[in-house]
Chains A and B, each alone.
Chain A
Amino acid sequence: MSLKHIDVLLCCGSGCVSAGALKIREKLEQVLTENHLQDEVNIIETGCMGPCDYGPVMLIYPEGVFYKHVKVEDVEDMVQEHFIKGRPLQRLMLHEDEGTPLVTKSEIPFYRKQKKVALANCGYIDPEKIGEYIAVGGYEALGKALTEMTPEQVIDVIKRSGLRGRGGGGFPTWLKWQLVNQNPVQPKYIICNGDEGDPGAFMDRSLLEGDPHRVLEGMLIAAYSTGASSGYFYIRAEYPLAIKRIKKAVQDARDLGLLGDDIFGSGFSFTAEVRTGAGAFVCGEETALISSIEGRRGQPNPKPPYPSTFGLWGKPTLVNNVETLANLSAIIQKGPDWFASMGTETSKGTKVFALTGDVKNTGLVEVPMGITLQELIFEVGGGLAAGKKFKAVQLGGPSGGCLTSEHLDTRIDYESLREKGAMMGSGGVIVMDDSNCMVNVAKYFLEFSLEESCGKCTPCRVGLKEMHSILEKITRGEGTIELLNQLEVLGKSIKELSLCGLGQAAPNPVLSTLRYFRSEYEEHILSRSCPSLVCQELLHYHIDKEKCIGCSLCARKCPVQCIFGSREDKYEITQADCVKCGTCQEVCPVGAISRFPGVSADLRQDTAAEFTKLYK
């Protein structure tokens, strides 16, 4: 017998938890008990609802009211006003610019252009209850596949749907399956690649945390179609909650007999296990991942042979990404034509993107393939913070490329992005405003790949290091135009000669910024100036004597004591000694100190001789 009349869906994705969702839960339980409402309100911890920068967020049913930025102090009011008196709290709702509150999720612009397929249940069901997944139609697709279809028929459905791998490469899913299906060697394995290492991408984590059974059902469908008898979820160790949730899902499915022998009386038997990484980006590469599951250093191997012929323990192995698996049950249930009706000619369905960086609404979004970057960043993402200008967007993480405002009308599909020098990658979208220096950003991404290079092949190990030192020189003001050409030549050869995807893609951020922001590189070299005021060696601080009130605070706080002056003469920075720590600018009470691009004039004279050398 249940007296429950309110469902509180509390987003407990990692984003909201990091913003304090669990404390909200604790307080809510306490206040409900104080008001004797504990039997009337359900608190359900769901997976990621998407708009992470509004966290902690919650949805309250039956009305479907959406609350954002909930604080512990708000809980008392919420119970008194909303739960007892039925007056939802307007101040916790999102407001449109004119001030009208947006009550339910569907009214919020962030959700309007979205189309949820993989994320359909994320933020709606309790991911730790297999019953809730089943209630929304879970495991029916598996039932249909096992009892009504042959493996070949399932492969044909996936072929007609046009689904391509969501992990980055965009390889047709059905083709990968067919290769394993037609391989007579037994046993066969399936691996769910949950080693989502691309910084700025967190859709796989959210799926595993928010709807683990959907991923598991996808694995079962893929296993049936390829003839695999056991599977592994390989999840990176940085995702403890995802590991916990998928382990629970596997256990619960086992208890219900959805894993094990003779599932649905079809004769199909399958076991699944969870394996964790231990901090190595390269393990996202399938051959490296296989090495890691085998208990070895996660180093990649040359392909061919591909895992479909020689994979885990030398057996045929299917490696599919988390999001790819999460699309399968919907395709089986709603049919390939439904899926193929979304997207573009070559890229079907929807794609989950992680919006991060200088965009207003950061978070997880799912949109039909083929929408433009403009729509994604400015409509779904809400554009940039007030007063900031869009400069570039990095797609596909450290392996991807930067695009500029000229490319905002580019449609998001595998081919269009590749053509422009970027890539879909796993779906990380890092938006950058005009305060970012593209040379510095390129250096930063390269640094990432350099650190993660496993060292097995020379182009990647040595080449990236060389590229990095060139970029260092440029950001220090020691660059020459000749070095830019070297950078390009090096980048292209590393792309061609590296053993695995990491090295093959690592030069992309440099090559794409060279292509679209060459003038910024040139300014660093020829004018010794960082126009975005980021590279410390290529900017200087200056005190505006008109504004300076002679308070001496900057001089007193300067760690290297390079600011001199008096109340009458005002203060001045001795540029040769300045370490550009920025303390003076921070402490100045009247804002008289600012950064300026380029080396300061007095310093330039000192080094004029050296400078001319650089021009040669």
Chain B
Amino acid sequence: MKTLEELRKIREKAQQEMKLRSASHRIKVVVGMGTSGIAMGAREVMKVLLQEISQRQLTDVLVTQTGEKGLSSLEPVVDIIEEGKPVVTYGNVTPENARKIVAEHIVNGKVVSDFVVAAENK
């Protein structure tokens, strides 16, 4: 290693791989993975979200799961949590819709109003 620049490059790359352990994420995507959510296809939705986010190299987005939210008729449910903005909840999310949510909401910051079931300030 001859320069500090080389070290910096290694650091940046390695930090990407450790991002799950740091608290700094621009957007948190939470998939409801209760029994009914899974029954309605939440696992598939989760997979699509992960694939889309990974393909687009959205390194500041965190995908995580949560338990039953009590919205059985609206499962699968996905929350988009962004610092300083109301939490947006999407319902009846299909893999198709999930792609749209990533492309429009997460990338362009435009809420996909068609599937929104709730938006509230936390």
Contact = CB atoms under 8 A, between A and B. Distances in A.
Interface residues of A, number: 38
A301 interface: no
Contact of A131 (B14, B34, B64): B14
A96 B96 CA distance: 45
B80 interface: no
A4 B20 contact: yes
A615 B64 CA distance: 77
A256 interface: yes
B4 A85 contact: no
A612 interface: no
B20 A61 contact: yes
A131 B13 contact: yes
Contacts of A256: 1, 10
Interface stretch (B49-57, B99-107, B110-118): B49-57
A7 B62 CA distance: 12
Contacts of B45: none
A86 B2 contact: no
Interface in A1-44: 1-7, 9, 40, 42
A602 interface: no
A62 B81 CA distance: 14
B1 A7 contact: no
A134 B34 contact: no
A264 B3 contact: yes
A473 interface: no
B11 A40 contact: no
A1 B58 CA distance: 11
Contacts of B18: 7, 125, 132, 135-136
Given A3-B51, A5-B63, A85-B65, A143 B33 contact: no
B8 to A, nearest CB: 9
B69 to A, nearest CB: 10
B17 interface: yes
Contacts, number: 94
Given A62-B62, A256-B1, A7 B10 contact: no
Contact of A3 (B13, B31, B47, B67): B47
B66 A5 contact: no
A433 to B, nearest CB: 38
Nearest to A8: B20
Contact of A40 (B15, B50, B66): B50
Interface in B9-62: 10-11, 13-15, 17-18, 20-21, 25, 30-35, 38, 43, 47, 50-51, 54-55, 62
A1 B54 CA distance: 6
A4 B15 CA distance: 14
A369 B73 CA distance: 58
B2 A1 contact: no
A176 B11 CA distance: 33
B32 to A, nearest CB: 8
Contacts of B1: 256-258, 263-264
B7 A84 contact: no
Contacts of B62: 5, 62
Contacts of B35: 85
A265 interface: yes
Contacts of B68: 85
A124 interface: yes
Given A62-B64, A262-B2, A264-B2, A84 B20 contact: no
Contacts of A83: 65
Interface string A100-143: 00000000000000000000000011000101101111011001
Given A132-B18, A135-B17, A135-B18, A143 B4 contact: yes
Contact of B14 (A86, A135, A264): A135
A257 B7 CA distance: 10
User: Which of B55, B64, B65 has the most C-beta atoms of chain A within 10 angstroms of its own C-beta?
Assistant: B65
A2 B64 CA distance: 14
Interface in A240-270: 256-258, 262-265
A84 B54 CA distance: 19
Given A85-B65, A135-B14, A42 B7 contact: no
B67 A86 contact: yes
Contacts of B20: 4-7, 42, 61-62
B114 to A, nearest CB: 25
Nearest to B47: A3
A147 interface: yes
A545 interface: no
B64 A63 contact: yes
A604 interface: no
With a 10 A CB-CB cut-off, give which of B18, B50, B63, B65 has the most chain A CB atoms.
Answer: B18
Given A1-B55, A134-B11, A140-B7, A84 B38 contact: yes
Interface in A264-279: 264-265
Contacts of A147: 4
A510 B55 CA distance: 68
A114 to B, nearest CB: 19
A134 B6 CA distance: 11
Interface of A: 1-7, 9, 40, 42, 61-63, 83-87, 124-125, 129, 131-132, 134-137, 139-140, 143, 147, 256-258, 262-265
**4 A-B pairs closest in CB distance:** A86-B65, A135-B14, A131-B14, A257-B1
13 contacts: A3-B51, A5-B65, A6-B64, A61-B20, A62-B62, A84-B38, A86-B31, A87-B66, A129-B14, A131-B10, A135-B17, A137-B11, A140-B4
Interface of B: 1-4, 7, 10-11, 13-15, 17-18, 20-21, 25, 30-35, 38, 43, 47, 50-51, 54-55, 62-68
Given A137-B11, A139-B7, 17 more contacts: A1-B54, A2-B17, A3-B47, A3-B50, A5-B50, A5-B65, A7-B18, A61-B20, A85-B68, A86-B66, A125-B18, A131-B13, A135-B14, A140-B4, A263-B1, A264-B4, A265-B3
